[in-house]
Structure 1
Amino acid sequence: MIETLLSPSRIAIVGSLSKETGLGARTLRHLTEARCPAEIVTGAVSEVDVAVVAVPAAAVPEVLTGLDGRAAHIIVVSSGFDEAGDATTLRAEHSRILGPNTVGLHYAPSRSMLTFAAAFDDMTDCRHGSGVVLLSQSGAFGARLLRSARRHGVDYDGFIATGNEHDYSAVELAIELVASDTHRPRTIALYLESVRDVDALDRMLAAARAAEVRVVALLGGASESGAGAARSHTAAVSPDHAVLTELCLMHGAVVVGSDRELVDATVALSVLPSARGGRIGVVTGSGGAGVVAADMLAARGLALTPLSPGAQASIGALLPTYASATNPVDVTAQVIGDTGAVANVRAALVDTGEVDAVLVIGRAEQAAAVAGDHGVPVVLAVLDGDATSVADHVRRGEPVLPSLEAACNAVRALVTGGVDKPATLPEPGTGAMFAAEDTASSARFLAEAGVPVAPWQEVHDVDAAVAAGTELGWPVVVKANLPTLAHKAASGGVRLDVGPDGIAEVATALLALAPSVIVATQLRAGPELFVGVRRDPLLGLVTAAGLGGGHLELIGRTVTVPATAPPEWLAERLRAVVFARAGDRYAHLPDLLAATAATLTGLAVRHDLALVECNPLVEVDSGLIALDARVVAA
């Protein structure tokens, strides 16, 4: 179906064409100026591949009824629906709908400029060849991305704005693009403000990875205000941004944080192959630029590869004695202007076999000479350029970026991460249902399931509390056995460092809050950690892990991934996000957290749990022990 949407042979324009500024008339003008070879129908509609509907919102349902089954695809550019508070959902039984409130689409290879947007007035030449198709839930913003890429020398092959997504979604269109033998792009760029079907996104990302289609995703709604704006703009509640980000990363997609990053990524992917690994080499004529490049790459999760003594010797033989053959390779200001010398250094660096991608900080006219070989892509950064100064180079297939920041964005896009196979979850619902929901039952459930829990006893009176403390050993932690979802610390239901002299008073106070209290061994060991699994109505099961304790929300040092993330991927993300600067002392903690997360995920699946979490966890004897727990049935 995507083939007839993007390359229709017969197109109908439904709406008034008498007013030049009308949406239908502007769409017709674009098709005409683009020399679209399709037959264009402006009268009665019989059988067409695409019908563009540009009528007032109130008239749209009746028009759709007349087109249903006569048009394979109906593009509703009319506005005044979700964004105006109208809850009406447009449907067609025998046709697919794009929109409403869409600016339409543009597919340059077939010269199908099915859009009214003025942003395309100077794009009717239909330049293409980049292998990039942009899918955007915002038409105006997507058109801006398209124009920005064009200024940088990248002519996107296609652009589809999905609008309010009453039928077709950006994710579904991406699935069809990946599956198409004739219209599959090399790169899919996505701007998403909301995702209604996370399973579909998961399938699309997996299919794209398998088909070697790179995905660049800009996800709106990262902040509270951004999420609110997305809701008002698309009338959809954004799922957890962190989980969607991690889902994309798990499948090897490039997740960017701005329109500029998206364009930089697509510049690189339009002219270069992906890197075979994450080992980055830098060649520069300025020590300062090399330092800044190293910092920028590190901020993007890429570290410069230390070169072996042999590699340094082979590179150093090409340089003056006062140059540096370490990484970054500083050829000095005296050499950087010598294109042949820079090209030889780049070649020697690649020949070492110790780098997977190279960033050269030099001059635009050196692009052809320093181009990559042996499957090692090379990005050239100029420090004083702008988009227009590099566009001709990019159109010639030379990856020149107009700033160091842009070049680092490009290098990051070339490095493919992720995993090839998600974790296999157990058969759901095979375990006994969890019934009671309080602190004691949660701890008991986890202990019986094999999750280590600090020694504890549940007691119902003061004498029993004294006896429990004596048996467990002083000091102890005493907690009111409150309902699972109650915040014990906020309710005054947790007391630490309780000794034999204070146990009676503490137990009396806490028994006034709950029918029983928990007396537990007080463990003091290492940092407090956290692992939790929750069931989200949109996202399904998600897993979070990282630093924990009573100030978990304030610390904010956690990673949240889909529950299908393999333990090794969660451990890798924890190392990158939470423990990157922790040193060797805590290098083993990501693996311990990932193993505990896998255990809790299995429990959530088998026992149909809405929530299972351990906070805090501490390390004792090379294993994690839960000091507190919550378990809630679905």
Structure 2
Amino acid sequence: MADVDPGDGHLGPAAEGAAGAAPYPAGWEADVVLTDGSTTRLRPIRPEDADALQAFHVGQSERSTYLRFFAPLERLSDRDLDRLVRVDHVDRVALVALTGAPDADEPERIIGVARYDVVEPETAEVAFNIADAHQGKGLASVLLEHLAAAARERGVRRFVAEVLPQNGRMLAVFSEAGYEVRRRTEDGVVQVTFGIDPTDRSLAVAADREHRAEARSMRALLTARSVVVVGPGPEPERPLAARQAQRVVEGLAAAARAGTIAVHAVGVGHGEGLGDDGVHRHRRVDDVPGPVELAVVALPAAQVLDTARRLGALGVRGLVLLSGGFAEAGPEGLARQRLLLGVVHGAGMRLVGPSSFGLLATHDGTTLDASLAVRPPRPGRIGLFCQSAPFAVTLLAAVERRGLGLAQLVSAGHRADVSGNDVMQFWGEDEGTDVVALYLESIGNPRKFTRVARRLASHKPVVVVAAGRTGHVVPPGHAVRPTRAPRRTFEEVLRQSGVVRVENVHQMLDVVQLLAHQPLPRGKRVAILASSTGVAALVAEAASAAGLVVTDRVERIAEDARADEVRDAVERVYGDPGVDVVVAVRVPTLGVPDPVLPREVARAAARTGLTTVACMFDLHGLTAELAATDPEGRVRTVPAYAAPEDAVLALGHAARYAAWRAADRGTTVHPTGVDLRAARRLVARALAESGATDGAPVPLDAAQTAELLATVGVHVWPSIRVHDADEAVAAAERLGWPVAVKTTVPALRHRADLGGVRLDVADEAELRADVAGILALAADHDPGAGVPPIEVQAMAPHGVACVVRSAEDPLFGPLLSLGVAGDAADLLGDVAYAVPPLTDVDVAELVRTPRAAPRLFGYRGLPALDVPALEDVVARVAVLADALPDLRSLELNPVVVSPTGLAVLGAHASVAPADRADAARRLARA
């Protein structure tokens, strides 16, 4: 998008004599997807990049060089070149975008450079330069995102730049980045200034660009019209690879004969040239005439790397790797996989696999069957994603049994690169897909999954089944960070995403066939058509259990009913304005199919738009007997289920999804009086002063914790630690009577029921007695521990005590929880979870989710409490946890909510260096 550096090429005052170089920041390395769907690699510049940087500079056009340096400059001097490649990664930072692989015979090529130089505290001057051949791909925007993320790590909060007025592309990059940009012109140069802290708009802009880039990269794969299949040759060492390659060629042969897809094969079968099957066979990859859009590779792992390099020269956009032998094979395989990714991304390709089943897609009437499927499924409007190849086999068999049609099937294998997030980005743009289903064995980046799935689910249903009930299963070969999160975290991630979570593949297809062929339910009021009163009662019970509301509209249709009686009963059901959904069940005792009821139900459902499911003898999945045309000419099919319980369960899922989609999801919370910069400085100072280098959590003391919470507007009531009654009385005099007295023994802390907390202490005599009692209790609890201190605190208004916690998880990122304090939360797990960032609706739902939440709303005649005050504290903690990955844990306990406010009476926090998976920058692998 942009082409030149807005600066003048000279160093800022901080460039020389910087405080000291930092170690090479490997965490800044990233593979990214550009807006044309291609990939490139970003990393910090290195001294050994001097030759590549000179080649990049010499290759630029005269105009680009002039706009970069404000003057013609044919070559960089040795002094300038050395200065540009030697940076300290603190006050002077430079990122380069590269093509080519680091281990290839040819050196990597630089196609873009972004740098900053600190010019004053928290301010840096930035410069960009993009190769002429790679402009218009969004590379400058990606570099700006990554450079800003690196700058924030180093304490920079503001970028400045000088741009020539004719450099419209660079000015557009700044203005379209989502930051608040100030511009002024002086001496013929545009001076640009903007803060780089993420804003809602900058995050939305980055997410939108990421969405379009990843969608386009997947579209290039799924709509490919030229494919090369690479196998191990006629006498392979591994026959499986040969059979896999042959199967893919057979699947592509129909399109090859029709001339809709150009198919090339290397090392598959015998002979060369054009075969009767329409496939062009070649002896070597180098013999294939390019460009070719898609490659499918089935080779021993040791041969894949060299083949990938050769495929890159053909202009291949995507490589589907059927072979295994990579990360799942141990450290050697993992190293091989990393090298492969370097080659693939350096050549601008996406990688599907390893151990993929392949791709299936129908577009514009052409079926791309680059898979191991024996028979491709019929075309349809359902998108399926799975990971393991064996599971794809069973999934396709189940799809065929039900008569479902697919728009696409993508098997990501061990998802070294392409993941479910990428495919969901594509489905968000694809007009040929109505419903999406994903079978997930693991999620590498739950935060991004939440963001992408929520965007997709807002206009298309997303049905998810996960391996294992927790979502924490990590199959061999899957790169997944460890997690300390509780089992319910994954469920919360899916709930916030708006996806339909089901327990198994059977349920997944039950829901998919309903959502794909019936309109969304208008509500939850259900009517029942049944062949007997007993069946109707069972259906009503199942419907109620599925969350539906059973109405009085229950029509019995006798097994020997005449056609007109069937028709009248159907009309009564579908003519009832108090009905939203219909369940039609016919279980004949004689086992004889009924041609009348299916036809009448299908016609009525299509005519009225009432969501309908059926359970009828001898019908399963999608059948012609239950299909009819709606008033708009679209064929609507009532899905048939094996059991009524399956039908109403699917209907319940659909009704809940429809309600979620229709509801207001709110806006991201932004409480007033929040100073995240001060919070970051405090955490950085605490980490620096601790001197910890092993990553262990560093606890903050009470004063530091209170100061940290004050940066986001949360006030912690002060408490004074004392050791005897005299000190306790003095503390009470300072704080004011009445007071609360609490032990610091962990097992007794917050336990008024055990005597560890004494409330409403009104005078000195009572206080001295309570101190003596607490000290005796502590001594009995742990006789050898000495005399622990006691806390004295001003007495807060009476109310309900809550606990608000946040924890930074390596996999899920910040995890927020809320519970009503006491045994309900501690013993019964009555705790609600949410993953920031949160909207105001998310916060309200979090507060209302615990089963003990009614205590906050006037339970049993008690006055309602100040719930908005609690929501405000939750929102502030959510913002703090989301902005500070280094905040390892935070606990506010107790938070006493009264009718007129709340009081945070205790808080504990710890910090530790963190590397969040979903930072504010775009990555190819997520």
TM-score where L is the length of structure 2: 0.56
Kindly indicate whether the alpha-carbon contact (under 8 Å) linking 2:816 and 2:833 is maintained by their aligned counterparts in 1: yes
Alignment match, 2:771? 503
Structure 1 residues 95-121: Cα deviation after superposition (integer angstroms, max 9, x where no partner): 2211111111222453222122xxx32
Identity fraction in percent: 24
Matches within 5 A, 1:407-556: 407-415=647-655, 416=658, 417=660, 419-425=664-670, 429-432=676-679, 433=682, 437-438=700-701, 442=705, 451=714, 456-468=719-731, 476-480=740-744, 495-497=756-758, 500-504=768-772, 506-507=774-775, 516-520=789-793, 529-549=802-822, 552=825, 554-556=827-829
Alignment match, 2:838? 565
Give the C-alpha shift of residue 33 in structure 1.
6.0
Distance 2:319 2:775 in 1: 69
Alignment match, 1:9? 225
Distance 1:392 1:386, change over 3 A: closer
Alignment match, 1:601? 878
Q: Which moved more, 1:145-154 or 1:522-531?
A: 522-531
| Aligned AA (2:226) | R
TM-score where L is the length of structure 1: 0.79
Structure 1 residues 44-72: Cα deviation after superposition (integer angstroms, max 9, x where no partner): 33321111111101111111111114122
Distance 1:558 1:54, change over 3 A: same
2:549 is equivalent to residue 304 of structure 1: yes
Distance 1:197 1:375, change over 3 A: farther
> Is the radius of gyration larger for structure 1 or structure 2?
2
Alignment match, 1:83? 328
Kindly indicate whether the alpha-carbon contact (under 8 Å) linking 1:52 and 1:76 is maintained by their aligned counterparts in 2: yes
- Match for residue 217 of structure 1 among 458, 464, 476: 464
Distance 2:453 2:234 in 1: 44
Q: Does the residue aligned with 2:637 lie in a helix, a strand or coil?
A: coil
2:357 is equivalent to residue 128 of structure 1: no
Matches within 5 A, 1:252-263: 252-263=498-509
Kindly indicate whether the alpha-carbon contact (under 8 Å) linking 2:819 and 2:825 is maintained by their aligned counterparts in 1: no
Alignment match, 2:478? 234
Kindly indicate whether the alpha-carbon contact (under 8 Å) linking 1:198 and 1:539 is maintained by their aligned counterparts in 2: yes
- Match for residue 600 of structure 2 among 358, 369, 386: 369
Distance 2:748 2:425 in 1: 43
Distance 1:292 1:230, change over 3 A: farther
Distance 1:584 1:387 in 2: 48
Matches within 5 A, 1:57-72: 57-70=301-314, 71-72=316-317
Structure 1: state its 5+ residue gaps.
306-326
Q: Which moved more, 1:431-440 or 1:46-55?
A: 431-440
| Aligned AA (2:405) | D
Give the C-alpha shift of residue 355 in structure 1.
3.9
Structure 1 residues 403-428: Cα deviation after superposition (integer angstroms, max 9, x where no partner): 12221232134332155454244677
Alignment match, 1:317? none
Matches within 5 A, 1:208-357: 208-210=456-458, 212-223=459-470, 227=472, 229-232=473-476, 234-237=478-481, 242-284=488-530, 289-290=535-536, 292-300=538-546, 302-304=547-549, 327-332=551-556, 334=558, 344=568, 347-348=571-572, 351-357=575-581
Give the C-alpha shift of residue 266 in structure 1.
0.7
Give the C-alpha shift of residue 165 in structure 1.
1.7
Kindly indicate whether the alpha-carbon contact (under 8 Å) linking 1:286 and 1:330 is maintained by their aligned counterparts in 2: no
Give the C-alpha shift of residue 400 in structure 1.
2.0
Alignment match, 1:378? 611
What CA RMSD, in Å, does the superposition of the two structures yield over aligned residues? 4.2
Q: Which moved more, 1:144-153 or 1:16-25?
A: 16-25
| Aligned AA (1:361) | V
Distance 1:39 1:610 in 2: 54
Distance 1:448 1:195, change over 3 A: closer
- Match for residue 115 of structure 1 among 368, 371, 374: 371
Kindly indicate whether the alpha-carbon contact (under 8 Å) linking 1:335 and 1:342 is maintained by their aligned counterparts in 2: no
Alignment match, 1:105? 359
Distance 1:503 1:406 in 2: 62
Q: Does the residue aligned with 2:433 lie in a helix, a strand or coil?
A: coil
Distance 1:244 1:59, change over 3 A: same
Structure 1 residues 495-552: Cα deviation after superposition (integer angstroms, max 9, x where no partner): 2348643513634858967985323478897775433233334433332223443673
Distance 1:442 1:290, change over 3 A: farther
- Match for residue 639 of structure 2 among 392, 396, 399: 399
- Match for residue 166 of structure 1 among 416, 425, 430: 416
Distance 1:515 1:584, change over 3 A: closer
Q: Does the residue aligned with 1:402 lie in a helix, a strand or coil?
A: coil
Kindly indicate whether the alpha-carbon contact (under 8 Å) linking 1:529 and 1:618 is maintained by their aligned counterparts in 2: yes
Distance 2:795 2:536 in 1: 50
Distance 2:853 2:540 in 1: 16
Alignment match, 2:80? none
Distance 2:896 2:442 in 1: 37
Q: Does the residue aligned with 1:556 lie in a helix, a strand or coil?
A: coil
Distance 2:787 2:711 in 1: 24
2:264 is equivalent to residue 41 of structure 1: yes
2:234 is equivalent to residue 18 of structure 1: yes
Distance 1:264 1:607, change over 3 A: closer
Structure 2: state its 5+ residue gaps.
1-216, 266-281, 588-593, 628-634, 687-698, 760-765, 913-926
Distance 2:599 2:902 in 1: 55
Distance 1:204 1:444, change over 3 A: closer
Distance 1:276 1:582, change over 3 A: farther
Q: Does the residue aligned with 2:838 lie in a helix, a strand or coil?
A: coil
Q: Does the residue aligned with 1:359 lie in a helix, a strand or coil?
A: strand
Give the C-alpha shift of residue 578 in structure 1.
3.4
Give the C-alpha shift of residue 159 in structure 1.
0.8
Q: Does the residue aligned with 1:232 lie in a helix, a strand or coil?
A: coil
Kindly indicate whether the alpha-carbon contact (under 8 Å) linking 1:425 and 1:605 is maintained by their aligned counterparts in 2: no
Distance 2:702 2:878 in 1: 19
Q: Does the residue aligned with 1:274 lie in a helix, a strand or coil?
A: coil
- Match for residue 442 of structure 2 among 189, 194, 197: 194
Structure 1 residues 320-350: Cα deviation after superposition (integer angstroms, max 9, x where no partner): xxxxxxx153334648956655665555555
Distance 1:515 1:503 in 2: 12
Kindly indicate whether the alpha-carbon contact (under 8 Å) linking 1:531 and 1:613 is maintained by their aligned counterparts in 2: yes
Kindly indicate whether the alpha-carbon contact (under 8 Å) linking 1:618 and 1:627 is maintained by their aligned counterparts in 2: yes
Structure 1 residues 259-297: Cα deviation after superposition (integer angstroms, max 9, x where no partner): 111111111012112223444444445555555445544
Kindly indicate whether the alpha-carbon contact (under 8 Å) linking 2:232 and 2:300 is maintained by their aligned counterparts in 1: no
Structure 1 residues 213-240: Cα deviation after superposition (integer angstroms, max 9, x where no partner): 22111233433xx62x424362424765
Kindly indicate whether the alpha-carbon contact (under 8 Å) linking 1:462 and 1:507 is maintained by their aligned counterparts in 2: no
